[in-house]
């Protein structure tokens, strides 16, 4: 038997250890087939099922990506589709992952149909999360103190404006709702436009806002946001102690009265217009300003989302849409804010501090998120799939195709044209991207009613807006009636349950 000195023995053991490690990492020693273990691992990769809710564009995009996922992991991918109405009747999802509206998180979490994302998962994928805009990463996907979803892009409403008109008449983009109203009134009068006036037969509005059913209440929320979000108050829509609605108070009445005044500058029937219809009218040169968001899923003159399925236009249509965009000089700015805010505690208006945001974005207007089903047998694999679909490389192909999303990662600012209408210039696309980033990196926000009964609460707000715009009732009476409906909804769902849900929508589990 050979004898070795201790030092030589240690050296041989070290060499042997290094060889073994190299064999494991490179798959070299002792393998008759170089790829045998890799092939076996791929064969064992789980088959995953993704359920896509009310978004055929994302469903089609994931089907197109299935082959790449198979190459990436060796796993099979099945895509199913359903509607929000159908999934509300399910006890559990027969899927591993679900892609749905961001506003559904609260209800799905309360019904225990989805799992919170474990701290271990989040820690292991911290690089992915660092690239997501703050309000989406920290607020919109949270329920209580836990994270429940992976962002696929959630638009905030922004103000489109005719940059050529503002420049021609020496005006600046609006910073407050008062400035916005003055611009809307000025541009609504064709006489003020001189040689820039549209043809007499063409519809023309100072501004257009989406006030169709399903949108009027959200538009009122967006307008009220800078008035109701005080840095010292959690209570914005409801009193967090009693769940008494706060929508009959001064900031809400001001927001509704200003909305009605802006609607009077429109020759269009805005009570039938959703964000897509508003956007289309802007690109057709029919208004000076418009409230919507930008999307690559439609051409600039596409029909409203509710009127026809997105993505069905022909190549000729797309060329015409691009031509329309090139003829319109567009600018983008955040929704107007306010230097005044209403303090619920003292029941009075106060000036904001100089270092305080005047702009308050409304979250969960639309948007899509990915969640892990509580019934999944491979929840971590489902989570990894959602990360992969929404990462910087794949999100432009998977997420940008939806009319309900927009850019949501810092890396998207490098190629913003992938997320906007065709024909928008690189400079205009960059301005839109910067506007979205600014809004979604702010410290304050208002939640878009992510609690059970959301559709009913918003429908009641829709009705109040419609009655006020039509002049059927005064703003005070409209909101008083809506408060009564909100109380009834809360009682029917359960006041205690709704209070907890409202707290969790604000990122709290209970008041300390």
State whether the Cα torsion 345-351-356-362 is positive or negative. positive
* Contact present, 70 and 77 (Cβ < 8 Å): yes
CB atoms within 10 A of CB 397: 15
Long-range (24+ apart) CB contacts under 8 A made by 494-502 are: 495/243, 497/110, 497/452, 498/243, 498/451, 498/452, 498/453, 499/238, 499/240, 499/241, 499/243, 501/106, 501/110, 501/451, 501/452, 502/237, 502/238, 502/240, 502/243, 502/451
Of 383, 403, 423, the last residue of a domain is 423
Alpha-carbon gap, residue 188 to 179, rounded angstroms: 14
pLDDT at 298: 65
Of 408, 423, 438, the last residue of a domain is 423
Confidence of residue 233 (pLDDT cuts 50, 70, 90): confident
| pLDDT exceeds 60 at position 14 | no
- 197 & 134 share domain: no
Ramachandran area for residue 245 (φ above 0: left; ψ -120 to 50: alpha; else beta): beta
- 174 & 143 share domain: no
pLDDT higher at 425 or 33: 425
Confidence of residue 483 (pLDDT cuts 50, 70, 90): very high
| pLDDT exceeds 50 at position 246 | yes
Nearest to 283 by CA among 241, 248, 326, 245: 326
Q: How many residues does the chain have?
A: 512
Joined together, the tokens standing for residue 295 give: 């999307």
Continuous H helices in 294-425:
315-327, 379-389, 395-398
State pLDDT tens for residues 265-320.
Answer: 999 999 999 999 999 999 999 999 999 999 999 644 444 333 333 333 334 334 44
Q: What pTM did the predictor assign? A: 0.87
- 67 & 166 share domain: no
| pLDDT exceeds 80 at position 84 | yes
- 408 & 464 share domain: no
State pLDDT tens for residues 159-212.
Answer: 999 999 999 999 999 999 999 999 999 999 999 999 999 999 999 999 999 999
- 151 & 180 share domain: no
pLDDT at 44: 62
* Contact present, 302 and 310 (Cβ < 8 Å): yes
Q: Is residue 434 part of a domain?
A: no
DSSP state of 31: -
- 147 & 291 share domain: no
- 178 & 124 share domain: no
Alpha-carbon gap, residue 386 to 370, rounded angstroms: 6
Q: How far is CA 255 from the centre of its chain?
A: 22
Confidence of residue 245 (pLDDT cuts 50, 70, 90): very high
- 277 & 314 share domain: yes
Domain ranges, residue 234: 158-360+451-505
- 220 & 310 share domain: yes
Mean pLDDT of the chain: 88
Domain containing 340 — which CATH number?
Answer: 3.40.190.10
Query: Which phi and psi (to 5°) does residue 278 adopt?
Result: -65, -45
DSSP state of 366: S
- 415 & 492 share domain: no
Decide: helix, strand or coil at residue 264.
coil
State pLDDT tens for residues 430-460.
Answer: 999 999 999 999 999 999 999 999 999 999 9
State pLDDT tens for residues 34-81.
Answer: 333 234 334 467 999 999 999 999 999 999 999 999 999 999 999 999
State whether the Cα torsion 205-209-210-212 is positive or negative. negative
The count of domains in the chain is 2
Nearest to 357 by CA among 241, 229, 257: 229
* Contact present, 282 and 424 (Cβ < 8 Å): no
Calculate mean pLDDT across residues 87-112: 95
| pLDDT exceeds 80 at position 8 | no
**Strand pairing report for 77-82 and 48-53:** parallel
What's the start-to-end Cα distance of the chain, in Å?
Answer: 73
């Amino acid at each position: 038997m050979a004898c070795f000195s201790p030092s030589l023995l240690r050296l041989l053991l070290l060499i042997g250890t290094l060889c073994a490690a190299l064999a494991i990492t490179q798959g070299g020693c002792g393998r008759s087939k170089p790829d045998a273990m890799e092939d076996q691992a791929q064969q064992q990769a789980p088959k995953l099922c993704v359920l896509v809710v009310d978004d055929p564009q994302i469903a089609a995009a994931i089907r197109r990506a299935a082959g790449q996922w198979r190459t990436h992991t060796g796993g099979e991918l099945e895509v199913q589709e359903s509607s929000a109405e159908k999934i509300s009747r399910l006890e559990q999802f027969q899927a591993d992952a679900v892609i749905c509206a961001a506003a559904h998180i609260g209800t799905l979490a309360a019904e225990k149909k989805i799992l919170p994302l474990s701290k271990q998962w989040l820690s292991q994928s911290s690089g992915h999360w660092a690239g997501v805009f703050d309000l989406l990463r920290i607020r919109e996907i949270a329920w209580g103190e836990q994270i429940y979803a992976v962002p696929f892009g959630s638009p905030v409403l922004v103000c489109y404006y005719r940059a050529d008109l503002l420049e021609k008449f020496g005006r600046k983009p609006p910073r407050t709702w008062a400035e916005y109203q003055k611009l809307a009134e000025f541009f609504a009068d064709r006489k003020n436009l001189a040689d820039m006036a549209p043809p007499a037969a063409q519809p023309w509005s100072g501004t257009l806002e989406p006030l169709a059913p399903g949108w009027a209440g959200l538009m009122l929320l967006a307008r009220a946001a800078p008035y109701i979000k005080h840095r010292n108050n959690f209570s914005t829509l409801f009193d967090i102690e009693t769940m008494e609605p706060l929508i009959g108070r001064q900031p809400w009445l001001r927001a509704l009265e200003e909305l009605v005044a802006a609607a009077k500058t429109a020759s269009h029937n805005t009570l039938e217009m959703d964000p897509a219809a508003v956007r289309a009218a802007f690109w057709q040169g029919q208004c000076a300003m418009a409230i919507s968001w930008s999307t690559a899923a439609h051409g600039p003159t596409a029909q409203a989302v509710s009127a026809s399925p997105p993505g069905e236009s022909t190549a000729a249509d797309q060329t015409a849409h691009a031509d329309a965009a090139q003829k319109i000089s567009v600018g983008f700015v955040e929704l107007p804010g306010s230097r005044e805010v209403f303090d619920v505690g003292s029941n009075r208006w106060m000036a904001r501090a100089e270092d305080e945001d005047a702009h308050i974005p409304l979250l969960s207007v639309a948007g899509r998120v990915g969640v892990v089903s509580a019934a999944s047998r491979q929840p971590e694999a489902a989570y990894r799939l959602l990360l992969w679909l929404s990462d910087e490389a794949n999100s432009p192909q998977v997420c940008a195709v939806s009319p309900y999303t927009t850019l949501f990662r810092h890396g998207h600012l490098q190629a913003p044209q992938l997320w906007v209408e065709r024909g928008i210039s690189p400079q205009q696309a960059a301005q839109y991207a910067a506007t979205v980033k600014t809004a979604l990196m702010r410290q304050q926000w208002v939640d878009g009613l992510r609690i059970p009964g959301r559709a009913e609460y918003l429908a009641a707000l829709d009705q109040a807006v419609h009655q006020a715009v039509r002049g059927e009732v005064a703003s005070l009476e409209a909101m008083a009636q809506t408060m009564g409906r909100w109380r009834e909804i809360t009682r029917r769902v359960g006041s205690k349950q709704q209070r907890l849900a409202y707290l969790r929508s604000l990122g709290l589990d209970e008041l300390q």
